[in-house]
Amino acid sequence: MSRQNQPEFPSKVYAEAVVRSATGASLLRSSSLVTSENVVQFQAEPNLVTLAKKRLEAAGFEILDVGKALISIAAEREVYERSFQTRLEAIERPVIKEMGEPSTATFINSVDDKPFGEIDTSDTRWDEVLDGIALSEPVYYTRPISSTTEPPERTAKYLNVPDDVAQGLNAIRVHQNGITGKGVRVVMIDSGWYPHPFFREHNYKVNVVLAPGSTAPDRDDSGHGTGESANVFAIAPEAELTMIKFDMELEGKLKNVTSVAALKRAIEQRPDIISCSWGSDQRSRQLSPQDKMLAAVVARAVREGIVVIFAAGNGSWGFPAQHPDAIAVGGVYKHLEGSLKGRLEASNYASSFISPVYPGRRVPDLCGLVGQLPDGAYIMLPIPPDGWRDRVLSVVGDGDGTSPSDGWAAFSGTSAAAPQIAGICALMKQVDPSLSPARVKQILQQTARDVVEGFSNPDTGGHRAREGLDLATGYGLADAYEAVRAVKAFTNENCCDDCASSERTEQNLSDIYLTSKVRKPMSSEFPKLQKKLDELRWKFEKELQATIDEHGLEDVELIISEDNFIPRSPITKIAFSLRERLDSCFHTKEEYEKLKEEYENLTKAQRSSLSKEERVKFKIGIGEIKIWEITEEHISSAQALIKIGRHQELAIRVLTEALLLTGEGGKDIRKMASEALSECGSEIAMFDASSRDETSSLDKIELTCGKCKNGKRCCTNGKCYSC
């Protein structure tokens, strides 16, 4: 890269110093993904943390925050290069910024070390105290982007706060029952907060705490944090909200490069809930050193009992929303006008995807209210008057019907959905403060309203919403009333006395709808199928009975109704063709009977003279793979099936059997099979994880004991594991 094209190096570099753990486990080099279950093993001894802090200070580093494993630091470029014997460079890399805009941003890298974004300290004097340095990276808010107490008159239809958002998420009925989030501590990490008259009018109170490196607690230059905070209060009007101002400005550019330190600062507030409407675009299987640190802090927060919520993204593959301990929030659009008024559909502005990092992790878990493409303008929110957001959103596209200085703008995105869900969590925690993060997520999922129309953001695959759990919306649109109702059912004060009665337990479970989503009856779009349905049922029944008899399966039946059918998708047609090709690898019953007869007609001498390969052919059973007949076409078909997520178990079986081919003739096939398995590594890992996790929703329910309030599992025979 020529010197004139290199980006300007910032005056200060931010990073996380990783202190050596007490167990020897490395956050930077561990092959295991950090979750709330294993995060403790990465913590350092307190005295080693203290020693590392003193040595960093002595070397000229500014200490921003000290945690159990990470020390947030800042210094000029020369301090890093001198202390760690390295050279730093500034590099422009592609990112997705606000408004879903593909762009570039400046990243700092150590020229001498790998992977990107890490400083290796193993050959320096720091080796005895530090495991390495993770250089901080920019993240972006997931909303593209004289005040009055009420929004101005406007030409377009938007949702208002608080009433419209509360109604859309079914929270008004909860408020009428006196549940408002009172006493529940919510922390938002965002751009700051401005005391807009709207908040004073509704008596909403916010405490502002600066993230390391941030300044001016009374300003919100972006307006993002101010606007999105109104979503929390719309759902939980009496929640205790703390805003961690996280809006680093370097050389005139907004670069939120202290995300790890900001999240640690949030944990220090000892909240019940942390809501984050920002992240990075993580499409690689490998996390950067910075994101490994961020994942560890998310895991630490959840392990300490904090509910952590992240926006899924608006066309980006949001991280840390992908972290399995976090609640990933997507978007559902509710039509406000016209013939479709009131209809719910997946927001085509919100992201949905399967994480490339965490096997089987689907994003989102569930959804809040989000607008549609192109700009997500949907909720009229209070912002600092005459700020850049006020000016820009009043004129972008057709404008939002507001003036450039009135302190109101229409926007949404999953940035709005995340604090909406945080508000529902606050209502739930008011009812039962002992709810664990896992229980909160589970109840939110199982009480969400199913959304069956629409598609998610095309930049993340444009996945279609369907009946039941789907990739576009997860479990659907969050429902505050049903979530609170579920918490009440599970935390009855007389749980330990009442759950001795199986009838009572069954009633509790049925009351809160913790069952699989039921598909709606099929419409008349399949009239030909309806006429032949009885005939199809009979064919399926005969095939099932034959399979039961042949393989000695349990005596079961398959209930087939009209609502089991949906239009055949192109990917299903492709999968059918690929599966047909693979079927030629498998030994049929007819082939088995023929070879069996042929073998029985051989003399003893003929049998003794058979080669090893011929013996294998005669001994192969029905449904086993004819290894000697596997071709390149079979390898390609198996790999394609794994990639598209269809018939994966059978495809993996073909590839692994192909590795057993012997002789020179099988060399090329073995090589192809090995390469195919390697290229499908993440898909195979996801398939393996999901196959181990095939338990029903009811199997996963953990009833909280209302008597001792300890959050332990409460069984159905009247005894709590603790009391």
pLDDT, residue 614, reads 67
| Four-point Cα dihedral 371, 375, 379, 384, nearest 10 | 160
pLDDT, residue 695, reads 38
pLDDT, residue 374, reads 86
CB 127 within 8 A of CB 173: no
pLDDT in tens, 397-435: 444 555 566 788 888 999 999 999 999 999 999 999 999
pLDDT, residue 528, reads 81
For residue 682, the tally of other CB atoms under 10 A from its CB is 15
Amino acid, single-letter form, for residue 576: F
Q: 590 pLDDT band (50/70/90 cuts)?
A: confident
pLDDT in tens, 516-565: 333 334 344 567 877 787 888 888 888 888 888 888 888 877 777 665 66
pLDDT, residue 480, reads 97
pLDDT, residue 311, reads 97
pLDDT, residue 718, reads 39
pLDDT, residue 702, reads 39
Q: Which of 36, 65, 136, 224 is catalytic?
A: 224
pLDDT average, residue stretch 602-610: 77
pLDDT, residue 668, reads 85
pLDDT in tens, 81-91: 999 999 999 88
pLDDT average, residue stretch 19-38: 88
CB 115 within 8 A of CB 288: yes
Q: Is the pLDDT reported for residue 186 higher than 90? A: yes
pLDDT, residue 254, reads 43
End-to-end CA distance of the chain: 67
Please tell me the distance from the alpha carbon of residue 563 to that of residue 525, in angstroms, as a whole number.
11
Please tell me the distance from the alpha carbon of residue 625 to that of residue 584, in angstroms, as a whole number.
9
> Considering the chain, what percentage of its residues have pLDDT values greater than 70?
77
pLDDT average, residue stretch 246-262: 66
For residue 488, the tally of other CB atoms under 10 A from its CB is 18
pLDDT, residue 307, reads 98
Q: Is the pLDDT reported for residue 188 higher than 50? A: yes
pLDDT average, residue stretch 266-282: 95
Q: Which of 190, 365, 450, 470 is catalytic?
A: 190
The CB-side HSE value for 688 (13 A sphere, CA atoms) comes to 10
pLDDT, residue 460, reads 92
Helix H, strand E, coil C: the string for 443-491 is: HHHHHCECCCCEECCHHHCCCECCCCCECCCECCECCHHHHHHHHHHHC
pLDDT in tens, 354-371: 999 998 899 999 999 999
pLDDT, residue 551, reads 80
pLDDT, residue 150, reads 57
Q: Is the pLDDT reported for residue 78 higher than 60? A: yes
pLDDT in tens, 698-713: 333 333 444 444 444 3
Q: 58 pLDDT band (50/70/90 cuts)?
A: very high
pLDDT average, residue stretch 55-64: 96
pLDDT, residue 100, reads 59
pLDDT in tens, 663-680: 666 788 888 888 888 888
pLDDT, residue 621, reads 62
Rg of the chain over CA atoms, in angstroms?
Answer: 29
pLDDT, residue 500, reads 37
Lowest mean pLDDT among 59-63, 201-205, 641-645: 641-645
pLDDT, residue 492, reads 60
Q: 22 pLDDT band (50/70/90 cuts)?
A: very high
Q: Is the pLDDT reported for residue 293 higher than 90? A: yes
pTM of the shown model: 0.66
pLDDT, residue 339, reads 87
DSSP symbols for 520-553: PPP-TT-HHHHHHHHHHHHHHHHHHHHHHHHHT-
For residue 615, the tally of other CB atoms under 10 A from its CB is 12
pLDDT, residue 529, reads 79
Mean pLDDT of the chain: 81
224 is catalytic: yes
pLDDT, residue 75, reads 95
Lowest mean pLDDT among 42-56, 107-121, 623-637: 623-637
Q: How far is CA 226 from CA 183, 190, 406, 407, in A?
A: 21, 9, 14, 10
Q: Which long-range contacts (CB under 8 A, 24 or more apart) does 98-104 make?
A: 98/140, 98/141, 98/143, 98/144, 98/145, 99/144, 99/145, 99/375, 100/144, 100/314, 100/315, 100/316, 100/349, 100/457, 100/459, 101/144
pLDDT, residue 717, reads 36
pLDDT in tens, 456-510: 999 999 999 999 999 999 999 999 999 999 999 876 643 444 443 333 333 343 3
pLDDT, residue 397, reads 45
What contacts 449, CB < 8 A, 6 or more positions away? 344, 476, 477, 478, 479, 482
Q: Which of 83, 110, 277, 415 is catalytic?
A: 415
Q: Is the pLDDT reported for residue 617 higher than 90? A: no
List the one residue out of 335, 323, 313 whose CA is nearest residue 461.
Answer: 313
Domains of the chain: 3-137 (no CATH), 159-486 (3.40.50.200), 591-623 (no CATH)
Instruction: Identify the burial level of 527 via C-beta atoms within 10 angstroms of its C-beta, where 0-12 means exposed, 13-18 middle and 19 or more buried.
Output: exposed
